[in-house]
Amino acid sequence: MAAEKIYVTQPYLPPLETFTPYLEQIWANKILTNGGPFHQQLEKALCDYLGVQHVALFSNGTLALITALQALRVTGEVITTPYSFVATAHALLWQNCKPVFVDVEPHTLNLDPAKIEAAITPQTTAILPVHCYGNPCDTDAIQKIADNYNLRVIYDAAHAFGVEDAGGSVLRHGDLAVLSFHATKVFNTFEGGAIICPDAKTKQRINHLKNFGFVNETTVVAPGINAKMSEINAAFGLLQLQHMPQVMQRRAEIDAYYRKQLSDVAGITCLPQGTQTKANHSYFPILVSPEYPLSRDALYEKFKKNEIYTRRYFYPLITDFPMYRGLPSALPANVVEAGHAASQVLCLPIYPALTDTQQERVISVILELLA
């Protein structure tokens, strides 16, 4: 009998019958989009859950990121990380901005504040860091640099739903923070995203931009886009939010067991927990170094042969893609730590429905060569 397939992540899906009342209400309301009742309820519920003042919902995280740049009128050069999903840099190109890549810290894999200042030029207008795997960036150091050079800071917080530091939600940092609610994320709305706004005025501008720039029925004030979240997605988000305590607890259990079982394996490094006071365990990356009997890619293939689908996340680097590798900041010598991580990283399966038996299967593939 073939082994059951195990994937690196799976969306959390509450029981189907619990979604039926929401669908019936949508049909009764006859409102499918344009800020309907469930859309408004989800924005408020997320403010309460995340401990933030203003949330603007979007149809996906990439459009939210593009709109955040537009809302702050970011132009010119923007300092960002090469170690991220490609949408981080693509959003800059969509806004006709020039990405300037700066290397990451070796232990957090977040943008290295110590290397930011050297990349600043008179054309630099903003910094776009990523809370990689949900581990917070050095927000104090980044903000200090931004203040000194009068730069905007937009956090790509796609992985950081529910993460907190000593002062509260990490989403409060920067001028804006952007979330993704894609199906692979800790909290998902099938597809979706959000911008965390510091005040009502900024949220109002963002709401205009995500609806073609309309202010009212006859007035358009900006070249906005259609990025509104539908009522179906918002309703699913409301349902899923009810299950977040169990989701977070199960992720924490899986994370802790991986760390316990892999802590003494030569050549396998689990990334440090980070500085957060509340983690979301959105991914479980390991680094596979030469001390391990197999290369990272060989281990990746071995997992596949065992019907376990891990992910080399993030590989390749953004700077390796054709539209970016010609930039001076994309030279391999400029992104040494990021390149090192990209050649060794492997994300192991972690999601609420992963059973103890399935996790043991994952771990056994790593350990069997060491017997």
Cα separations in angstroms, 30 against 23, 40, 276, 338 = 10, 15, 42, 49
How do residues 272-325 score in pLDDT, each as one tens digit?
988 899 999 999 999 999 999 999 999 999 999 999 999 999 999 999 999 999
Mean pLDDT within 180-186: 96
pLDDT at 41 over 90: yes
Average pLDDT over residues 94-108: 97
Answer yes or no: is pLDDT of 36 > 90.
Answer: yes
Instruction: For 64, list phi and psi in degrees, rounded to 5.
Output: -65, -40
Residue 83 tokens, joined: 């170690």
Where residue 194 falls (left for φ over 0; alpha for ψ -120 to 50; beta otherwise) is: beta
Evaluate if residue 1 carries a pLDDT over 70: no
Mean pLDDT along residues 55-74? 98
Q: Is 91 helix (H, G, I), strand (E, B) or coil?
A: helix
The amino acid at residue 204 is Q
Average pLDDT estimate for 352-358: 97
Please report which confidence band the pLDDT of residue 56 belongs to, taking 50, 70 and 90 as the band edges.
very high
Across residues 178-188, what is the average pLDDT? Answer: 97
Is the predicted pLDDT of residue 17 greater than 70, yes or no? yes
Q: What is the mean pLDDT of residues 333-348?
A: 98
Element (H, E) at 362: helix 356-367
Domains and CATH numbers, the chain: 16-241 (3.40.640.10), 244-370 (3.90.1150.10)
Provide the pLDDT for residue 2.
61
What's the CA gap between 108 and 245, in Å, rounded?
Answer: 26
- Tell me what the mean pLDDT of segment 211-218 comes to: 96
For residue 3 the two structure tokens come to 């082994």
Averaged confidence pLDDT in the chain:
97
- Whether the pLDDT of residue 157 is over 90: the answer is yes
Rounded Cα gap, residues 371 and 291, in angstroms: 15
pLDDT tens string 220-274: 999 999 999 999 999 999 999 999 999 999 999 999 999 999 999 999 999 998 8
Reported pTM: 0.97
Distances (CA, A) of 269 to 137, 261, 368: 20, 12, 17
Give the pLDDT confidence of 113-129 residue by residue, as tens digits. 999 999 999 999 999 99
Q: Determine contact, residues 231/33, Cβ cutoff 8 Å.
A: yes
Tokens 């840099």, located at residue: 89
Q: What angle do CA 309, 286, 115 make, to 5 degrees?
A: 125
Share of the chain above pLDDT 90, in %: 97
